[in-house]
Amino acid sequence: MRYRSLFTTIVLLFALFSLKAQNDYFFAEGTRFDPKIPTPEKYLGYPIGTLHTRHDAIVGYMRELARISDRAKLDTIGETYEHRQLVVLTITSPENHRNLESIRKEHLKLTDPTQRVGDYTDMKSVVLLGYNVHGNEPSSSEAAMLTAYYYVAGQSAEVRAALKDAVLMVDPTFNPDGRDRHSTWANSYLGDPMVSDPIDVEHNEAWPRGRTNHYWYDLNRDWLPLAHVESQSRIDFYHKWYPNVVTDFHEMGTNSTYFFEPTKPFGSENPVVPRDNYDGLNNLFAGYFHEALDEIGSLYFTKEQYDNSYPGYGSTYPDIHGALGLVFEQASSRGHVQDSPTGKVAFAFTIKNHVTSSLATVRASVGEREVLLKHMENYFDSALEEGAKNPVKGWVFGDPADDGRNQAFIDLLLRHKIKTVALNDDIELDGKNYKAGKAFYVPNAQKQYRMVRTMFEKVIDFHDSIFYDASSWTAALTYNMPYAEWKGKQDLSGKELTRNDLKGTYARVPKTNYAYLIEWNEYYAPKALNYLLEKGVYVNYGSKPFSIETNEGVKEYGYGTLMIPVSRQEMDADLVHAYVEEATEIAGIRAQSVKTGFSTSGVDLGSGSFTTVRKPKAIMLIGGNTNSAEAGEVWHLFDSKVGMPITKVDMDNAGRINWSDYNTLILVSGSYNSLGESTLDRIKLWVREGGTLITIKGATSWAIGAKWVNEKYAPRSERETPERMDYVTSRDFYGAQSIGGSMYMTDIDITHPIGFGYTSRELPVYRNHSTLIQPSSSPTNTVVKYTENPLLSGYVSKANLKDIGGTASLIATSMGRGNVVMFVDNPNFRGMWYGTNRLLFNAVFFGNY
């Protein structure tokens, strides 16, 4: 008994010692903790900083805290593509936990301009501590566990005050799939002793690396497009709470120090965010950050860089919602320890800085509670006020020919809580007809007015000319949405929409023994087409318009209409009917049936203008120096919008491809010379024998440079040699000459198979590169061409704009019996370009035109 108790004492002492050692490293000396709450080290079995913690273990620790403590509660807010949980640990006093729902409801009054709060005495600061949006910037999730521990186990007066006055929400991993991809890499190459040599494999992950999510998307660009489940779940949660402060923790190059906001003034700020956010709140919080980092002797910098303008950043979206979004950047150890010119950077050290900033964020959020609450209330009051004062009452939009794209755009608006109505009456604006049923209205007079501006306003005046990222994000243009300002006296009336109203247009089609027709101008028509091809149904596409009597009356059909003849199939009429039903139902679109092939105008259904669709067997090269973001966009597009598999082959395995198994090859930006001569000759032969080669952006430059096609770069106009300038100003000068990311108008040939399904010749495109391609010398090859003065939205220098005007955006050319479809611009940028996606659908389904 005696011995046993002595033994227990020794074990306890040892445990306390190691607990103390870890705690003393990460927290201020003498911080007292409740011994009943396990430290991360105790729970995980290793000290924080000595291994990269798996996401499931992070979730496990959060769950353990919620199980043991009445200060914490865990919510699962969604899951990733790889079924990892997205969780939020809510930490506050037990009393606040008991009243959490009423605290939330009180808090939401701040966001409602019809309710006046004014007295904030009993209200709480709501702080969303978010971590690890970039999977290979791993220190932050480790910091999340320590931060959660600090507030769940902490016994100090400061912690108790924070729990009383704030609701803390720890979202430990914004991007669990990317985090685990990176962590598995770093852990599996961890040596004993550790290797700090930067060239060691531990510090150099393989393609596609861990920054991005399952589909290789940067989730720190996705708060606006909401292309992914992680962001969709997060935004739903966000709008349940409207936090006052949101953190976004990152890592940067190993040779740097630490960064906290303010970001670079003016140039990198968002145009719709009130100045008070930057001049007031940011500076107020910076005081808390520098004090905390000074205390532990950490070097840092502020104000010089980091973009705060693009609304899809986790640190900018909150600024457009009455909150303070904060980005932090820590010099990365990328691995467990890495050499830098100023000594070794250890993983634990990088974690410590993020812990320090996390605690300082909470300190500031509690200390400035009333300032934050007032800021939020004013923010939404002033949003409604400004919206109501705007001479533009609101925005009318809607594509008469594409319900799928209309609904996708409305879905985006509604996810961002933007009030949207379906118009009761037809309206004509700027020479365009908006027909009831296909026309919608967003009023400016609403509390989300600043998000409305984000969706519709074009921006071409800028304070600065250097952009870290995009300088334009006008969502309506990315969806190629016809839209117009409404300047009437009253708001237009209609039914307010909810996401339940967005169910597609599918309706049963009567069986016929003759043929079915599907309009190609519907965004989701490729999904139906793919389904039919999978089922072995022969489908034709028409290359000329016609009108014909259908079950819905006489209907006009445009270029690319799908025609499914019944008697020519290798299956009976009932089965054809069943497949047409299933295909249109899953795609959410309609088919029509016809009993005759005789058109009332245009070509008949037996015309030579109908061609049988070739079932795509698509392959895409990845790895090497290919652009993972572009490859991920292609992969995600065909998975999520078409349901069509694409075989992804690493560049190293390209020599093993049996080319006769495929008819479509997609190359994203990258240099393909490393494939070697024999593989390249094989691909060339495959195209000449009838394959379709699709090149995107950099791959188009590569194909032209390698002389696979007979197209040419367009000349750049002569630039004046700059006057002598001071070295320090040169970065700004040359930055202004580059093309950051802007939107341009093009003219599209809608009679070309690659242009099928478009009903207007006007097509906005996205350009963030300086490659200029001449229109083809073959007159029908330039399917998409920049207009002469093409800028729609975003920054571009005058000289660059002049050069871009009149160049090619997409060229399709033949090569032997095959075709090469060359995208100068990326049609899938960030999963938001519903407008240009169709070009890629056409290239894949009609690429052998």
Of the candidate spans 133-141, 233-241, 512-520, 786-794, the one that interacts with Zn ion by CB under 5 A turns out to be 133-141
Is the CB of 204 or the CB of 498 nearer to Zn ion? 204
495 is written with which tokens? 């039914």
Is the CB of 136 or the CB of 543 nearer to Zn ion? 136
Q: Which residues contact 96 (CB under 8 A, 6 or more apart)?
A: 103, 124, 163, 164, 167
Is the CB of residue 538 less than 8 Å from the CB of residue 516?
no
CB of 739 to Zn ion, least distance (A): 23
CB of 635 to Zn ion, least distance (A): 22
CB of 331 to Zn ion, least distance (A): 12
Judged by CB under 5 A, how many residues of this single chain contact Zn ion?
3
Residue of 172, 218, 179, 199 whose CA lies nearest to 77: 172
Is the CB of 250 or the CB of 375 nearer to Zn ion? 250
Answer whether the bond into residue 113 is a cis peptide, omega within 30°: no
Q: Which residues contact 224 (CB under 8 A, 6 or more apart)?
A: 310, 311, 312, 317, 454, 473, 475, 832
Residue of 582, 638, 508, 147 whose CA lies nearest to 361: 147
CB of 225 to Zn ion, least distance (A): 18
Handedness of CA 830, 831, 833, 838 (dihedral sign): positive
Is the CB of residue 311 less than 8 Å from the CB of residue 450?
no
At residue 96, what is the residue type?
A: N
Is the CB of 250 or the CB of 264 nearer to Zn ion? 250
User: Which residue is listed with tokens 């949207």?
Assistant: 420
Residue 314: CB atoms within 10 A of its CB come to 26
Is the CB of 137 or the CB of 142 nearer to Zn ion? 137
The verdict on 134 binding Zn ion (CB under 5 A) reads yes
Residue of 678, 677, 671 whose CA lies nearest to 697: 671
339 is written with which tokens? 């050499």
CB of 248 to Zn ion, least distance (A): 8
The verdict on 182 binding Zn ion (CB under 5 A) reads no
The verdict on 250 binding Zn ion (CB under 5 A) reads yes
Is the CB of residue 126 less than 8 Å from the CB of residue 244?
yes
Is the CB of 314 or the CB of 775 nearer to Zn ion? 314
Q: Which residues contact 766 (CB under 8 A, 6 or more apart)?
A: 478, 741, 742, 743, 744, 825, 826, 829, 833, 836
Of the candidate spans 235-243, 245-253, 515-523, 602-610, the one that interacts with Zn ion by CB under 5 A turns out to be 245-253
Window 543-602: residues binding Zn ion (CB under 5 A) = none
CB of 801 to Zn ion, least distance (A): 31
The verdict on 354 binding Zn ion (CB under 5 A) reads no
CB of 317 to Zn ion, least distance (A): 15
Is the CB of 216 or the CB of 786 nearer to Zn ion? 216
DSSP classification of residue 272: T
Binding mask 135-164 for Zn ion (x = CB under 5 A): --x---------------------------
CA neighbours closer than 13 Å in the CB half-sphere of residue 567: 8
Window 91-130: residues binding Zn ion (CB under 5 A) = none
Residue of 131, 156, 173, 132 whose CA lies nearest to 27: 156
Binding mask 674-703 for Zn ion (x = CB under 5 A): ------------------------------
Is the CB of 134 or the CB of 181 nearer to Zn ion? 134
Window 752-781: residues binding Zn ion (CB under 5 A) = none
Is the CB of residue 848 less than 8 Å from the CB of residue 719?
no
| In the complex, residue closest to Zn ion by CB | 250
CB of 212 to Zn ion, least distance (A): 11
At residue 494, the 3 state secondary structure works out as: strand
At residue 465, what is the residue type?
A: S
CB of 292 to Zn ion, least distance (A): 21
Is the CB of 149 or the CB of 259 nearer to Zn ion? 259
User: CA 33 to CA 41: how far, in whole Å?
Assistant: 14
The verdict on 221 binding Zn ion (CB under 5 A) reads no
Is the CB of 178 or the CB of 616 nearer to Zn ion? 178
CB of 147 to Zn ion, least distance (A): 18
Residues of this chain that interact with Zn ion (CB under 5 A) are 134, 137, 250
